[in-house]
Structure 1
Amino acid sequence: MTSAIPHPVHFGRIAPTLPVADMDRAIAFYTQVLGFTKAFENGNPVGFVILKKDNAELHLTLDKQHKAVPRNVAHLLVHDAAALYQHLQQHNVRVIKALRDADFGMRCFVFADPDGNRIDVGENR
Protein backbone atom coordinates (compact mmCIF):
# COMPACT_ATOMS: atom_id res chain seq x y z
CA MET A 1 0.00 0.00 0.00
CA THR A 2 1.39 3.41 -0.91
CA SER A 3 1.06 6.44 1.32
CA ALA A 4 -1.57 9.00 0.43
CA ILE A 5 -0.45 12.17 -1.27
CA PRO A 6 -1.84 15.29 0.43
CA HIS A 7 -4.13 17.40 -1.71
CA PRO A 8 -5.69 20.84 -1.18
CA VAL A 9 -9.33 19.72 -1.30
CA HIS A 10 -11.22 19.98 2.01
CA PHE A 11 -13.87 17.31 2.48
CA GLY A 12 -17.25 18.26 3.90
CA ARG A 13 -19.98 15.98 5.16
CA ILE A 14 -20.56 12.53 3.74
CA ALA A 15 -23.90 10.86 4.26
CA PRO A 16 -25.09 7.33 3.55
CA THR A 17 -27.91 6.88 1.05
CA LEU A 18 -30.25 4.03 1.90
CA PRO A 19 -32.58 2.49 -0.65
CA VAL A 20 -36.14 2.02 0.59
CA ALA A 21 -39.10 0.25 -1.01
CA ASP A 22 -41.73 2.38 0.75
CA MET A 23 -40.75 6.02 1.26
CA ASP A 24 -43.64 6.90 3.59
CA ARG A 25 -42.89 3.93 5.84
CA ALA A 26 -39.18 4.79 5.93
CA ILE A 27 -39.80 8.46 6.70
CA ALA A 28 -42.20 7.47 9.50
CA PHE A 29 -39.60 5.14 11.02
CA TYR A 30 -36.70 7.57 10.90
CA THR A 31 -38.73 10.56 12.10
CA GLN A 32 -41.11 8.97 14.61
CA VAL A 33 -38.84 6.28 16.06
CA LEU A 34 -35.36 7.78 15.67
CA GLY A 35 -36.28 11.47 15.84
CA PHE A 36 -34.85 12.68 12.53
CA THR A 37 -36.42 15.66 10.79
CA LYS A 38 -36.97 15.95 7.07
CA ALA A 39 -34.66 18.64 5.66
CA PHE A 40 -35.30 18.09 1.93
CA GLU A 41 -37.43 16.03 -0.42
CA ASN A 42 -37.53 15.71 -4.18
CA GLY A 43 -39.92 14.22 -6.72
CA ASN A 44 -43.61 13.63 -7.13
CA PRO A 45 -44.05 11.05 -5.81
CA VAL A 46 -41.16 11.67 -3.44
CA GLY A 47 -38.15 9.64 -4.52
CA PHE A 48 -35.38 11.23 -2.46
CA VAL A 49 -35.27 12.60 1.09
CA ILE A 50 -32.59 14.10 3.33
CA LEU A 51 -33.08 13.53 7.06
CA LYS A 52 -31.11 15.17 9.87
CA LYS A 53 -30.72 14.71 13.62
CA ASP A 54 -27.99 16.39 15.64
CA ASN A 55 -24.79 15.81 13.61
CA ALA A 56 -26.21 12.86 11.67
CA GLU A 57 -27.48 13.10 8.12
CA LEU A 58 -29.17 10.30 6.21
CA HIS A 59 -30.41 10.17 2.63
CA LEU A 60 -33.25 7.91 1.51
CA THR A 61 -33.82 6.97 -2.11
CA LEU A 62 -36.87 5.14 -3.43
CA ASP A 63 -36.22 1.72 -4.96
CA LYS A 64 -39.48 -0.24 -5.08
CA GLN A 65 -37.56 -3.48 -5.80
CA HIS A 66 -35.10 -2.95 -2.93
CA LYS A 67 -33.85 -6.14 -1.28
CA ALA A 68 -31.80 -5.83 1.89
CA VAL A 69 -28.20 -7.03 1.87
CA PRO A 70 -26.69 -9.17 4.66
CA ARG A 71 -24.17 -6.53 5.77
CA ASN A 72 -24.19 -3.22 7.59
CA VAL A 73 -24.87 -0.28 5.29
CA ALA A 74 -24.28 2.58 7.75
CA HIS A 75 -22.57 3.22 11.06
CA LEU A 76 -24.14 5.51 13.64
CA LEU A 77 -21.96 6.82 16.46
CA VAL A 78 -23.99 7.74 19.58
CA HIS A 79 -23.30 8.90 23.13
CA ASP A 80 -25.48 6.24 24.82
CA ALA A 81 -25.85 2.98 22.89
CA ALA A 82 -27.70 1.28 25.75
CA ALA A 83 -30.40 3.98 25.81
CA LEU A 84 -30.90 3.76 22.04
CA TYR A 85 -30.96 -0.04 22.23
CA GLN A 86 -33.70 0.07 24.88
CA HIS A 87 -35.65 2.68 22.89
CA LEU A 88 -35.55 0.52 19.75
CA GLN A 89 -36.66 -2.55 21.71
CA GLN A 90 -39.63 -0.59 23.06
CA HIS A 91 -40.59 0.18 19.45
CA ASN A 92 -40.22 -3.47 18.35
CA VAL A 93 -37.35 -2.69 15.98
CA ARG A 94 -35.57 -5.79 14.74
CA VAL A 95 -32.18 -6.20 16.40
CA ILE A 96 -29.64 -8.14 14.33
CA LYS A 97 -26.80 -8.18 16.89
CA ALA A 98 -27.48 -7.58 20.58
CA LEU A 99 -25.88 -4.83 22.63
CA ARG A 100 -22.37 -5.76 23.73
CA ASP A 101 -19.09 -4.30 24.89
CA ALA A 102 -16.71 -5.25 22.10
CA ASP A 103 -13.01 -5.96 22.51
CA PHE A 104 -12.25 -3.06 20.16
CA GLY A 105 -13.42 -0.53 22.74
CA MET A 106 -16.98 0.18 21.72
CA ARG A 107 -20.41 -0.64 23.08
CA CYS A 108 -22.31 -1.65 19.98
CA PHE A 109 -25.27 -3.36 18.36
CA VAL A 110 -26.89 -3.69 14.93
CA PHE A 111 -30.53 -3.09 14.05
CA ALA A 112 -32.54 -3.21 10.83
CA ASP A 113 -34.87 -0.51 9.55
CA PRO A 114 -38.26 -1.52 8.06
CA ASP A 115 -36.57 -2.19 4.69
CA GLY A 116 -33.97 -4.48 6.26
CA ASN A 117 -31.13 -1.95 5.97
CA ARG A 118 -28.67 -2.87 8.73
CA ILE A 119 -27.43 0.04 10.86
CA ASP A 120 -24.39 -0.57 13.07
CA VAL A 121 -24.55 1.53 16.24
CA GLY A 122 -21.48 2.29 18.31
CA GLU A 123 -20.50 4.20 21.43
CA ASN A 124 -16.86 4.89 22.24
CA ARG A 125 -15.99 3.46 25.67
Structure 2
Amino acid sequence: MTDIADHGVRFGRIAAMLPVRDMARAEAFYTNVLGFRKVFENGDPVGFMIMKRDAGEVHLTLQPTHKAPAFNVAHLMVDDVDALHALCQEHGLRIIKRLQDKDYGLRAFVFEDPDGNRIDVGQPI
Protein backbone atom coordinates (compact mmCIF):
# COMPACT_ATOMS: atom_id res chain seq x y z
CA MET A 1 0.00 0.00 0.00
CA THR A 2 1.33 3.45 -0.89
CA ASP A 3 0.69 6.62 1.03
CA ILE A 4 -0.54 9.91 -0.41
CA ALA A 5 2.99 11.38 -0.53
CA ASP A 6 3.95 8.69 -3.05
CA HIS A 7 1.36 10.16 -5.44
CA GLY A 8 2.80 13.67 -5.43
CA VAL A 9 -0.09 15.24 -3.54
CA ARG A 10 1.09 18.33 -1.65
CA PHE A 11 -1.09 19.72 1.11
CA GLY A 12 -1.81 23.44 1.39
CA ARG A 13 -3.38 25.36 4.23
CA ILE A 14 -5.66 23.73 6.75
CA ALA A 15 -7.72 25.82 9.12
CA ALA A 16 -9.91 25.17 12.13
CA MET A 17 -13.66 25.53 11.53
CA LEU A 18 -15.25 26.96 14.66
CA PRO A 19 -19.02 26.86 15.12
CA VAL A 20 -20.49 30.06 16.56
CA ARG A 21 -24.01 30.91 17.75
CA ASP A 22 -23.82 34.62 16.87
CA MET A 23 -21.65 35.64 13.91
CA ALA A 24 -21.50 39.35 14.78
CA ARG A 25 -20.39 38.59 18.36
CA ALA A 26 -17.78 36.10 17.11
CA GLU A 27 -16.47 38.56 14.52
CA ALA A 28 -16.18 41.27 17.19
CA PHE A 29 -14.28 38.91 19.51
CA TYR A 30 -11.81 37.63 16.93
CA THR A 31 -11.31 41.16 15.54
CA ASN A 32 -11.31 43.35 18.64
CA VAL A 33 -9.78 40.99 21.19
CA LEU A 34 -7.46 38.71 19.19
CA GLY A 35 -6.66 41.11 16.35
CA PHE A 36 -7.81 38.98 13.41
CA ARG A 37 -9.21 40.60 10.27
CA LYS A 38 -12.07 39.37 8.16
CA VAL A 39 -10.93 38.33 4.67
CA PHE A 40 -14.08 36.58 3.45
CA GLU A 41 -17.75 36.19 4.32
CA ASN A 42 -20.61 34.37 2.66
CA GLY A 43 -24.39 34.36 3.02
CA ASP A 44 -27.16 36.76 3.91
CA PRO A 45 -27.28 36.63 6.82
CA VAL A 46 -23.57 35.77 7.03
CA GLY A 47 -23.18 32.08 7.77
CA PHE A 48 -19.47 31.65 7.06
CA MET A 49 -16.45 33.87 7.64
CA ILE A 50 -12.69 33.56 7.28
CA MET A 51 -10.53 35.46 9.76
CA LYS A 52 -6.74 35.87 9.44
CA ARG A 53 -3.93 37.21 11.56
CA ASP A 54 -0.29 36.72 10.65
CA ALA A 55 0.03 33.03 9.67
CA GLY A 56 -3.11 32.11 11.66
CA GLU A 57 -6.46 31.48 10.05
CA VAL A 58 -9.79 30.48 11.52
CA HIS A 59 -13.08 29.77 9.77
CA LEU A 60 -16.31 30.64 11.57
CA THR A 61 -19.57 28.89 10.72
CA LEU A 62 -22.94 29.97 12.04
CA GLN A 63 -24.51 27.21 14.13
CA PRO A 64 -27.24 28.80 16.31
CA THR A 65 -27.72 25.66 18.43
CA HIS A 66 -23.98 24.99 18.91
CA LYS A 67 -23.03 23.23 22.14
CA ALA A 68 -19.29 23.43 22.72
CA PRO A 69 -17.45 20.15 23.30
CA ALA A 70 -15.34 19.56 26.40
CA PHE A 71 -12.11 19.21 24.41
CA ASN A 72 -9.76 21.53 22.55
CA VAL A 73 -10.89 22.32 19.00
CA ALA A 74 -7.84 24.29 17.87
CA HIS A 75 -4.19 24.75 18.75
CA LEU A 76 -2.57 28.16 18.34
CA MET A 77 1.18 28.67 18.42
CA VAL A 78 2.28 32.19 19.40
CA ASP A 79 5.55 33.96 20.08
CA ASP A 80 4.42 35.46 23.44
CA VAL A 81 2.09 33.13 25.32
CA ASP A 82 2.32 35.22 28.49
CA ALA A 83 1.03 38.33 26.68
CA LEU A 84 -1.89 36.42 25.13
CA HIS A 85 -2.71 34.86 28.50
CA ALA A 86 -2.77 38.34 30.09
CA LEU A 87 -5.03 39.60 27.26
CA CYS A 88 -7.45 36.70 27.82
CA GLN A 89 -7.57 37.47 31.52
CA GLU A 90 -8.05 41.20 30.85
CA HIS A 91 -11.09 40.39 28.70
CA GLY A 92 -12.55 38.00 31.27
CA LEU A 93 -12.24 34.88 29.12
CA ARG A 94 -12.60 31.53 30.83
CA ILE A 95 -9.20 29.91 31.30
CA ILE A 96 -9.65 26.12 31.19
CA LYS A 97 -6.03 25.11 31.84
CA ARG A 98 -3.73 27.51 33.61
CA LEU A 99 -0.57 28.87 32.05
CA GLN A 100 2.34 26.56 32.76
CA ASP A 101 5.49 25.02 31.34
CA LYS A 102 4.73 21.55 29.99
CA ASP A 103 7.12 18.59 29.98
CA TYR A 104 6.71 18.33 26.21
CA GLY A 105 8.50 21.67 25.66
CA LEU A 106 5.71 24.23 25.48
CA ARG A 107 4.55 26.99 27.77
CA ALA A 108 0.80 26.68 27.31
CA PHE A 109 -2.75 27.37 28.46
CA VAL A 110 -6.29 26.74 27.20
CA PHE A 111 -9.05 29.34 26.97
CA GLU A 112 -12.64 29.43 25.71
CA ASP A 113 -13.91 31.86 23.10
CA PRO A 114 -17.39 33.40 23.66
CA ASP A 115 -19.01 30.28 22.12
CA GLY A 116 -17.16 27.89 24.42
CA ASN A 117 -14.71 26.69 21.75
CA ARG A 118 -11.54 25.66 23.60
CA ILE A 119 -8.32 26.94 22.10
CA ASP A 120 -5.00 25.49 23.27
CA VAL A 121 -2.26 28.14 23.08
CA GLY A 122 1.43 27.31 23.16
CA GLN A 123 4.91 28.73 22.79
CA PRO A 124 8.12 26.69 22.62
CA ILE A 125 10.16 26.99 25.82
Compute the TM-score of the two structures, normalised by the length of structure 2: 0.95
- Displacement, 1:88? 1.0
Indicate yes or no: 2:58 matched with 1:58. yes
Count of aligned residue pairs for this structure pair: 124
Indicate yes or no: 2:95 matched with 1:100. no
Secondary structure in 1 matching 2:8:
coil
Q: Counterpart in 1 of 2:33?
A: 33
Partner Cα distance (1:84, 1:73) in 2: 18
- Displacement, 1:4? 4.2
Q: How does 1:1-125 map to 2 (within 5 A)?
A: 4=3, 6-125=6-125
Secondary structure in 1 matching 2:7:
coil
Partner Cα distance (1:121, 1:28) in 2: 20
Secondary structure in 2 matching 1:103:
coil
- Displacement, 1:7? 2.6
**After TM superposition, where is structure 1 displaced by more than 6 Å over at least 4 residues in a row?**
none
Partner Cα distance (2:77, 2:63) in 1: 26
Compute the TM-score of the two structures, normalised by the length of structure 1: 0.95
Code of the aligned partner of 2:96: I
Instruction: Tell me the C-alpha RMSD between the 2 structures.
Output: 1.3
- Structure 2 unmatched runs, 5+: none
Secondary structure in 1 matching 2:30:
helix
Secondary structure in 2 matching 1:46:
coil
- Displacement, 1:3? 8.2
Percentage of identical aligned residues = 60
> Do the aligned partners of residues 3 and 123 (structure 1) sit closer, same or farther apart at CA in structure 2, a change above 3 Å counting?
farther
